[in-house]
Amino acid sequence: MNVEEILATLIAFPSVVGTPNGEIVDWIRDYCQAAGAEVTVLPGPEGDRSNLFVTVGPRAGRGYIISGHMDVVPAGEPEWNSDPFVLRREGGRLYGRGTTDMKGFLACALAALPGLAAMNLRQPVHFAFSYDEEAGCRGVPHLLAALPSLC
C-alpha cells in the first residue's frame, strides 16, 4: 500500500478520543505483522482502548522509537462539507479528520515499515502508537510503564 492508501484507511476509522479504538488497532496490528514486524497490543485500563508497540529489526540493543497517537478530536464542526472520515482530494490537498494530527504521520511511518522490516538493521526501530492523546495523553502512561519489557 502507498502512503495515501494507508491514510485513507486510517481516516476511515472514526477513532475519536475517549471511544473504543479496537478497529484501528486491529488494522495496524495486521498490517505490521504482514510486513514481518513484531507487534504487542497493550490494552489500557479502560477496557476498550489499547496502545500498540511495534518492532522491526533485532530485539537486542539500543534503537529508535517513532511515536504517534491514533485518536482524533470529534468532527462536529459545521465547516465540514463532506464526511470527515472519508479521505478526499481537493485542490492538491487531502482532507479528512486526522490528516495532519496525526494520521498523516502514522500513514508515513506505516508506509516506511515494510522497507525497514526488509532491511538487515543493526538496531531495532520501534513504533509506539498511543490512544487518547487528545485528552491529556491518557494512554501514554500505560505505554511507558510497559517499555522496559518491550525494548
**Among 79, 90, 133, 134, which one carries the catalytic annotation?**
133
Active site (annotated) includes residue 71: yes
Q: What angle do CA 22, 25, 27 make, to 5 degrees?
A: 110
Residues in the chain: 151
DSSP-assigned letter for residue 102: T
**What is the enclosing helix (H) or strand (E) of 75?**
none
For 120, other C-beta atoms within 10 Å of its C-beta total 6
Active site (annotated) includes residue 30: no
**Among 4, 48, 71, 79, which one carries the catalytic annotation?**
71
Which residues does the annotation mark as catalytic?
A: 71, 133
